[in-house]
Each structure stands twice: as structure tokens, then as C-alpha cells.
A and B are shown apart, each in its own frame.
Chain A
Amino acid sequence: MPDKAIIAENLTRKFGDFTAVDQVSFDVEKGEIFGFLGANGAGKTTAIRILTGLLAPTSGKAFVAGLNVYTEMEKIKKSIGYMSQKFSLYDDLTVRENIRFYGGIYGLPRSILKQKTDEIIEIVGLGDAVNKRVASLPLGWKQKLAFSVSILHNPDIVFLDEPTSGVDPITRRQFWEMIYEASENGITIFVTTHYLDEAEYCDRVSIMVDGRIDALDTPAGLKKTFNADSIEEVFIRLARKEVWDERYQS
């Protein structure tokens, strides 16, 4: 079991009559960059909430960093990092204060925190901005900083929920270079995105439709299976049928 970063077996979550996650099974290898795609409302957020220890499943099994999502939720939270497009940093704290705050939460010793802070400022290229409030930073910088902070405690796995939405094309690519580097250092990356060219940057990609994983393979493998030129084409073909149902079944 410890050789896998994530194991899910028949994982299911219901809300009343509605099955948001429907018997999903997949593994994520250690150090892998795993793209978790799906249309709006396909069940991605619910699945991520389960895997990050925030929501208990209705049935099925899942282990994250070898920890059980039913019984070891608090340990899971310590073993993972998380960032999303919507909220990750405190806008009214400075860059340095944010790093210190998160370092404190994760219980990093002062000396290591100091060293990490210098590293982050160097990597993100923040320089003089370190004592500025996060609210004043351009979105691209904010997201690079948020990512650095999410792996401050050297987690086994980091969950990235649409980390690059709205970020300019050049910074978006710098962000992905940071992802590659983290992956080289052995951190497993679990990432969602609406930019389907980014799906091609992943080692493997899953596509969720209506609460189920309808496809899971390397980007090259998916394109071959679906005889498509791009992941976008694969995605649209799989997700179309959901749109079709939504529109014509009342």
C-alpha cells in the first residue's frame, strides 16, 4: 500500500438521492502528476473533499498517503498540501506573514521556516514585495506563492484545484515548471484545470463524467484510444453526452 500515493476503490458519495461520486476506482503513483478533469458538476470537488479528509464517503474505500479516509482524516490533513483558485492566502497579511502563518500551522521549526521563506522569495521572484500585502500582488504571483506555501511542509501529496484559472499565459507556464520541480522532488501532484492544454503536461489524466471516471490513461494513450488530436477533443466527446442528457431529459 505505501507505494501508492492515492488508492480509491468503488468510492461513492451520495447527497440524498443524488450520487455525486459514483463507484470511482483509481490509483495515483508516488511522484506522479495526475490530472483530474471533468465538466462543471461532474463530481470533482466532492471527490477532492473526500481525498483531503474534509468529507466522509458514503461507501467504498480510499487511502491517501497510506491513510484511511474514514478514520485518519486528521493525519491526512497533515500529509497533504492544498491550494485552490478561490482561496489560499490571506489578502490582508503580507507575503512574509502568510508564509509564517502557514509554517506555524504546519508546526515548522523557526530555523527551517526562515530558510524556507528565503527559498520561496527567491523562487517566486518576490524580492521587495515580501513585506507587501498579498492583496496588492498580481494574480500570477499570488498563485505561485500559494503553491510554494502549500508545499512548505513537504507534503506527500499536493491537491491543486484550478490553480491557473485566469493567470496569464507566461506565468501559467512558470507555474507548471514549479509543479514539475515539486514532482521531481517526489511530491505527488493531483491537479484540476479547465485549460486542456495543461492536461497534456500530466503523467496521467482521468476524465470524470456524471460522478464516474469514464477514462484514465496517459495523455498520449487517451488521444490514441479516442483517435483524437488533443485532450480537448477527448474531453468534449466524453462530456458531450452529459450535456445532451441535461438538455433533453427534463
Chain B
Amino acid sequence: MNPIIQINNLNKSFGQVHALKSISLEVNESELFGIIGPDGAGKTTLFRTLATLYTPDSGNVSVLGYDVVRDYKKIRPLLGYMPGRFSLYQDLTVEENIRFFASVFGTTLEENYKLVEPVYRQIEPFKNRLAGDLSGGMKQKLALSCALIHKPRLLILDEPTTGVDAVSRVEFWDMLAILVKDVTIIVATPYMDEARRCNRVAFIQEGEILQVDTPEAIVKSFKKPLFGVSHKNRFKLIRALKNYPYSESVHTFGDSIHYTDQRDLPDLDGLKTYLHDMGLENVEIGTLIPGIEDSFMALVLKEANHA
């Protein structure tokens, strides 16, 4: 497989802020690759560097075999870049926007219709509506169509699903699963659950990459037994668990508290007795299969303990 993106020891600072700290990463052809991390982790800085909009302070970055500093003019026509902020022309219609982006890259809507069809077909019924009047989910679809219209070899999507409701998020990922047959995709998101939809993901936090792997392997690397503890007074339960001398991690999670113990063989009866003594009766404790978010938090806490 050919690496479409090769990053070697990339550093980037803005004044005192060290936004990217010695990042190394490879993305292969035809991958749907996720950069997962919270606000301020460095995702946008990384993507602007890949899009040849920022130059690295040090390190090497190549995209599609070209150097992002020296060969930026060769890279740009080959990229489809969707920035985090909606950046289409709000006072043009849906159709005018896509025709404009096509003409800038010297092509037409007709020529590449097949490629954008899975996305564009969904907004085509509204082709005469102003882009500014579209709902959030439809704006995302139009932006994606415009990023695709010149048949790029790499799609760079910076938080396409932030602030988008759960239904539109699921639909957006369904579309990416179709598109990745024709184009390599690198996508940033703060939603941990979206990692499942990627071939591989990189966890990023405070400018550092914590782990790169397939979602399955990341979940498998969570070795500790994980328990789900529930009681109707969640607040009291969290406090009690955090004060338990053997507790390692305590995180609220859906309808239960996810708990790991410092000991290799946790004493659940002892824990129940302790909770009972704290006034929490009929606590339920079950074994859980860890998810992506459990793994991410465990990694972050491990880093914090090392620092």
C-alpha cells in the first residue's frame, strides 16, 4: 500500500503554544482515517498543515508524494478540503455553489456527477435554495459535494459532524463509507463513538498522538477488567466510588458508572459491602466490554500520571 500522507516529527508552535509536538503518522491509500481528540488537541493545526495552509516549524510532511512546503502548488488541486467552519457562499444557491467550485478546478458538475452523486443527490431537490437557508445537516452535504467535485485524491474533513445532531451524523458517516471506495479520507472528530466507523484512528491530545491503530485493536489494548456500577443516586455513587481506597478510575457512562480497580483481582463483594456502608443499597455491578471512549480516557490518564 502506498502512503498518501507521511508525517515525520512534525512540530508547530504559535508563540508559547506548542500546538503539534513531534508528530509522526502515515495514512495509506483508500483508508478512512480518523483523528480523534477534543477541542484544542491540535486537529485543525494538523489539517491546515496537510492542506498546505501552514508550514511546519520542523519535520517533514508529504502529501500524495509531494512536500507540503516545496510542492504546495502540486498538492492543492489534488485535495478536497472541508474546513471546520461552514465556508461556502451563503448568498449563492446550492447549484451555483457546486458549479462555482467545479469551474475553479476546471471541471463541470456533469463530468464528475457520478463521484458526487451519493452525496449531491440528497440535496439536489433543493438546488435552487440559497446555501445560507439550508439546515445544518444539508449544509454539511453541500460542503462535502463541493470538496469532492474536482475528483480529489485525498479528502481532508475537519470536524464535519461537530454540532450536528445524531441522525445527521450517522448519515454523514454512511456517505463516507461509500466515498472511501474512490478517495482516501482523513477526518477529524471530537466524538469518540465515530472512531468505530474508521479503518484506523489516531488519538490526539494536547498536540501529541497517544495511539494509532484500528478501532478493534485499540479496544483490545484495554486490559483491566471493567465494571458497570449503577444506583439511582448517581451523584452519591460517584463520590463513594472515588473515595474507595482501591478505585483506579470512575467515569459516568450512559446509565452506569464505569469502574476499574487497582487490584488485579477486584473484590466485588468487598466493594458492595463498602457501598452498602456508605448508604448505597441494592447497587448493581456487572462486567463490561470496554469501548473506544474507555480506552481513550485510560490512555489520557496514563499520560497524565507519567507527566
Q: Contact flags (1/0) for A158-193 with B, using CB distance below 8 Å?
A: 000010011111110100110011011000000000
Do the beta carbons of A167 and B39 come within 8 Å of each other?
Answer: yes
Min CB–CB distance B172 → chain A (angstroms) = 12
Min CB–CB distance A120 → chain B (angstroms) = 19
Do the beta carbons of B296 and A169 come within 8 Å of each other?
Answer: yes
Would you call B71 an interface residue if the criterion is a C-beta within 8 Å of the partner chain's C-beta atoms? no
Q: Could you say which of B38, B138, B166, B238 contacts A196, with CB atoms under 8 Å apart?
A: B166
A39: nearest chain-B partner, CB-CB: B165
Do the beta carbons of A243 and B137 come within 8 Å of each other?
Answer: yes
Do the beta carbons of B205 and A168 come within 8 Å of each other?
Answer: yes
Q: Could you say which of B170, B191, B235, B301 contacts A180, with CB atoms under 8 Å apart?
A: B235
Would you call B190 an interface residue if the criterion is a C-beta within 8 Å of the partner chain's C-beta atoms? yes
* Distance of A222 Cα from B220 Cα, bound (Å): 32
Provide the residues of chain B in CB contact with A211, threshold 8 Å: none
Q: Which of B237-276 contact A (CB under 8 A)?
A: 238, 251-255
Provide the residues of chain B in CB contact with A29, threshold 8 Å: none
Do the beta carbons of A139 and B166 come within 8 Å of each other?
Answer: no
Do the beta carbons of B251 and A39 come within 8 Å of each other?
Answer: no
* Distance of A58 Cα from B168 Cα, bound (Å): 30
B136: nearest chain-A partner, CB-CB: A40
Q: Could you say which of B171, B191, B235, B300 contacts A243, with CB atoms under 8 Å apart?
A: B171
Binds B, one of A66-74, A99-107, A148-156, A234-242: A234-242
Given contacts A166-B39, A201-B252, A247-B122, contact A39 B163 (CB under 8 A): no
Provide the residues of chain A in CB contact with B251, threshold 8 Å: 169-170, 173
Q: Could you say which of B136, B138, B252 contacts A173, with CB atoms under 8 Å apart?
A: B252
* Distance of A177 Cα from B111 Cα, bound (Å): 54
Would you call A250 an interface residue if the criterion is a C-beta within 8 Å of the partner chain's C-beta atoms? yes
Do the beta carbons of A165 and B163 come within 8 Å of each other?
Answer: yes
Q: Which of B80-138 contact A (CB under 8 A)?
A: 122, 125-126, 135-138
Do the beta carbons of A40 and B252 come within 8 Å of each other?
Answer: no
Would you call A194 an interface residue if the criterion is a C-beta within 8 Å of the partner chain's C-beta atoms? yes
Would you call A19 an interface residue if the criterion is a C-beta within 8 Å of the partner chain's C-beta atoms? no
Would you call B167 an interface residue if the criterion is a C-beta within 8 Å of the partner chain's C-beta atoms? yes
Provide the residues of chain A in CB contact with B136, threshold 8 Å: 40-41
Do the beta carbons of A243 and B254 come within 8 Å of each other?
Answer: no
Would you call A217 an interface residue if the criterion is a C-beta within 8 Å of the partner chain's C-beta atoms? no
Given contacts A40-B135, A184-B235, A247-B125, contact A139 B167 (CB under 8 A): no
Do the beta carbons of A165 and B162 come within 8 Å of each other?
Answer: yes
Q: Could you say which of A162, A197, A240 contacts B167, with CB atoms under 8 Å apart?
A: A240
Would you call B180 an interface residue if the criterion is a C-beta within 8 Å of the partner chain's C-beta atoms? no
Would you call A97 an interface residue if the criterion is a C-beta within 8 Å of the partner chain's C-beta atoms? no
* Distance of A169 Cα from B192 Cα, bound (Å): 8
* Distance of A154 Cα from B238 Cα, bound (Å): 24
Would you call A230 an interface residue if the criterion is a C-beta within 8 Å of the partner chain's C-beta atoms? yes
Min CB–CB distance B277 → chain A (angstroms) = 21
Do the beta carbons of A197 and B254 come within 8 Å of each other?
Answer: yes
* Distance of A180 Cα from B238 Cα, bound (Å): 10
Min CB–CB distance A128 → chain B (angstroms) = 15
Would you call B280 an interface residue if the criterion is a C-beta within 8 Å of the partner chain's C-beta atoms? no
* Distance of A183 Cα from B41 Cα, bound (Å): 31
Given contacts A40-B136, A169-B192, A201-B234, contact A194 B166 (CB under 8 A): yes
Q: Could you say which of A40, A236, A250 contacts B164, with CB atoms under 8 Å apart?
A: A40
Given contacts A235-B166, A243-B137, A243-B167, contact A180 B234 (CB under 8 A): yes
Would you call A53 an interface residue if the criterion is a C-beta within 8 Å of the partner chain's C-beta atoms? no
A247: nearest chain-B partner, CB-CB: B122
* Distance of A162 Cα from B136 Cα, bound (Å): 15
B125: nearest chain-A partner, CB-CB: A250
Given A40-B165, A168-B41, A180-B234, 12 new contacts (CB under 8 A): A38-B165, A40-B136, A40-B168, A41-B135, A166-B38, A169-B293, A169-B296, A183-B235, A194-B166, A197-B253, A239-B166, A240-B167
Q: Which 6 A-B pairs have the closest CB atoms?
A: A168-B38, A166-B39, A180-B235, A40-B136, A39-B165, A250-B125
B residues with a Cβ closer than 8 A to A are: 37-41, 122, 125-126, 135-138, 162-168, 170-171, 190-192, 205, 234-235, 238, 251-255, 293, 296-297, 300-301
- A-B contacts, 18 of them at CB < 8 A, read A38-B165, A39-B166, A39-B168, A139-B38, A139-B40, A140-B38, A165-B162, A165-B163, A168-B39, A168-B205, A169-B38, A169-B192, A170-B301, A180-B238, A183-B235, A196-B166, A243-B168, A250-B125
